[in-house]
Structures are given as C-alpha cells and as structure tokens.
C-alpha cells in the first residue's frame, strides 16, 4: 500500500471529489476508464470514495452493507477512502479496516452540512469542536498507520472562523487539507471564496501540508489556472464531472458528442446494476441522466422517458428508440 502517495503526486494534481450517492464504485470505474487513464502525460489524479460512516463500518451488520461502497479496482489508484464520525475510537477502528482493504489513503470528512451527520458530532460539526477534530485525526493516523488527509470548509457560520479553525488543523498535521471554499452556513448558495485560497495555501506550505482547493471548478483549464493563481498543490472537482467522463482529459462536455455521452450513460447504468442490483435503489442512477443528455435536441422529452426507467435495459431501449 502506497501510504505516502501524496508526496509522489505531480503538481498540480487533480482529485475526484467524494460525493454522496455519486462517487460509488460504478461511477469511479467510468471516470477511471474515460478520464484517469486517458491522460497519462498529466500524471495521476486521485479518486475518493463517497463518504462512509466509521460507526457503521465497525459494526458487524453495518460493515456488510458499507463494504459495498468501499469496493474499488486497481485502475482507480491512488484511491482514498473517506470516513466520517464524531468518535475518535470508532475512527481508529474503521481506519484499520480501511488499511486492511488496501486503500492508498484515508480522508476524514469535516465539512458535510447534513444535519443527521452533524447530530453525530461529525462532518461540519467538527469545525465547532477543534479539539475533537484533532483527536479524530490522531486516532485515524494511529489506525491507518500513516498521515491522513482532511476535507473541510472555511468555517461554520462565519468566514472569520477560518484563522482559528486552520490553526487547530495545522497542529494536527494531516498530510493534506482540502477546503470547500464556503462556510457550512453558506452551503453552496454563494460563489466559492477563491480569494481566500492563497491565504491557507501559504500557511500549509510553510508547515509541509498539501493544500487542495474545491468549489465551482467546471473545467481542467480552470482547475490548472486556479492551482497556479492561488499557489495550491491540487484541485478537487465535484459537480464539474457530471455528464463528462472525459473531464480529466481536458475535454469539455460540449466537446464530447451527445451520442457518445449516451453510450457511456448506458454503460454506466449497466455497471450500476452489476454492483448494486437488489442492494441500492435504481433511482440513485437517475441523478446522472440530465447531465449525460445535455445538448440533445429533444433533451426534455428524453429525460422524461429516462426518469421512468426502472433498469438498465429500459434505459438502453429508450436511448435506441426515436424520441416522439
């Protein structure tokens, strides 16, 4: 296991963000096939799993279900598992499981605004509890056996919280910190505060922690520009990859024909069934359809038909039939 993979990455590097009910094994395989391996000259990017409950992972019953979310292929390396918890002991135990599964890295979610996550003292709630955040990082590193990374936000309710929150994180000394450049209270309702990126990038550079920026990046051109402009080691991309498996090659969605995107959508849908038939609702797959068919001359009518589909075969049939 290459637990020190962070030090070997080219700069800037580009990461597929962890997204709930998005970056599952099926989606990551599509990205690895059409994005990651298609850009060898740009060096490796990094893929994250969707976030997984550490509390659930250490429970015998929960583990059976959650191990499905932690499946990965060798073509996804370097691959990072993301966990969340408000309990250091659970994180330590779960980190050992992640290590045994052969992951290259471990990341702790300290930015999720979901209320059910926050009630557990996890996600963005940790911004209000920096001592616990430090304990969780230490426990994760003890369990994983290497430095881990953190994904967080600028603050909880105010941008001014940035200074004290980052001081606490720097003391814990994770290998990398990814910042979604908004506060928890802002959710995604305002533009990301990229003007603050260089401030934390410089702080992290001074102490040997890798800096990663995240928020509103919609192309590789923009990702590279932001990394250079703000002195960041890497950029994490989330929604920008929707409907564009070729994102990491530098191609925009509009540069890929809608026919090609629909072909990949069908492939993605069959892959989803292969992994999750009888285990996850097919409705999870439907959040991708609109982005895949963007630009189709009859996108609205096609989307209505796709949203009524209940399996991959029906999706394929809709795509191969004339839209009337």
Active site positions, annotated: 112
Q: What angle do CA 69, 74, 80 make, to 5 degrees?
A: 50
Q: How far apart are CA 293 and CA 261, in angstroms?
A: 7
DSSP 195-232: GGHHHHHHHHHHHT-EEEEESS--SHHHHHHHHHHTT-
Beta strands in 119-200 (DSSP E): 149-153, 176-180
Q: For residue 21, with 0-12 CB atoms within 10 Å meaning exposed, 13-18 middle and 19 or more buried, which class applies? A: middle
N-term to C-term CA, the chain: 52
Kindly report the number of other CB atoms within 10 A of residue 324's CB atom.
6
Q: How far apart are CA 90 and CA 53, in angstroms?
A: 9
Q: How far apart are CA 259 and CA 261, in angstroms?
A: 5
Residue with tokens 């391996």: 37
Q: How far apart are CA 180 and CA 136, in angstroms?
A: 20
Is residue 26 within 8 Å of residue 167, measured between CB atoms?
Answer: no
Kindly report the number of other CB atoms within 10 A of residue 60's CB atom.
6
Residue 235 CA from chain centroid, whole number: 11
Q: How far apart are CA 55 and CA 86, in angstroms?
A: 9
Distances (CA, A) of 120 to 73, 110, 126, 184: 31, 12, 10, 16
What tokens does 177 get?
């910190």
């Amino acid at each position: 296991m290459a637990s020190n993979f962070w030090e070997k990455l080219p700069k800037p590097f580009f990461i597929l963000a962890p997204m709930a009910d998005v970056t599952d094994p099926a989606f990551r395989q599509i990205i690895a096939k059409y994005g990651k391996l298609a850009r060898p000259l740009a060096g490796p990017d990094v893929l994250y799993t969707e976030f997984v409950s550490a509390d659930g992972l250490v429970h015998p019953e929960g583990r059976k279900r959650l191990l499905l979310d932690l499946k990965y292929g060798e073509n996804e390396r370097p691959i990072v598992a993301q966990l969340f918890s408000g309990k250091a002991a659970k994180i330590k135990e779960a980190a050992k499981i992640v290590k045994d599964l052969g992951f290259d890295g471990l990341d702790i979610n300290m930015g999720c605004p979901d209320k059910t996550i926050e009630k557990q003292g996890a996600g963005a709630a940790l911004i209000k509890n920096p001592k616990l955040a430090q304990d969780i990082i230490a426990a994760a590193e003890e369990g994983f056996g290497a430095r881990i990374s953190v994904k967080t936000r600028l603050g909880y309710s105010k941008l001014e919280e940035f200074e004290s929150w980052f001081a606490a994180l720097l003391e814990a000394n994770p290998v990398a910190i990814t910042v979604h450049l908004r506060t928890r209270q802002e959710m995604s309702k305002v533009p990301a505060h990229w003007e603050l990126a260089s401030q934390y990038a410089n702080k992290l550079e001074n102490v040997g922690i890798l800096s990663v920026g995240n928020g509103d990046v919609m192309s590789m051109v923009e990702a590279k520009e932001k990394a250079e402009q703000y002195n960041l080691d890497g950029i994490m991309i989330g929604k920008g990859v929707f409907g564009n498996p070729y994102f990491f090659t530098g191609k925009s969605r509009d540069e890929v024909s809608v026919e090609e995107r629909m072909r990949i959508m069908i492939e993605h849908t069959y892959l989803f069934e292969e992994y999750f038939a009888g285990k996850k609702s097919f409705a999870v797959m439907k959040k991708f359809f609109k982005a895949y068919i963007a630009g189709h001359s009859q996108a609205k009518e096609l989307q209505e038909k796709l949203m009524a589909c209940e399996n991959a075969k029906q999706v394929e049939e809709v795509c191969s039939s004339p839209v009337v």
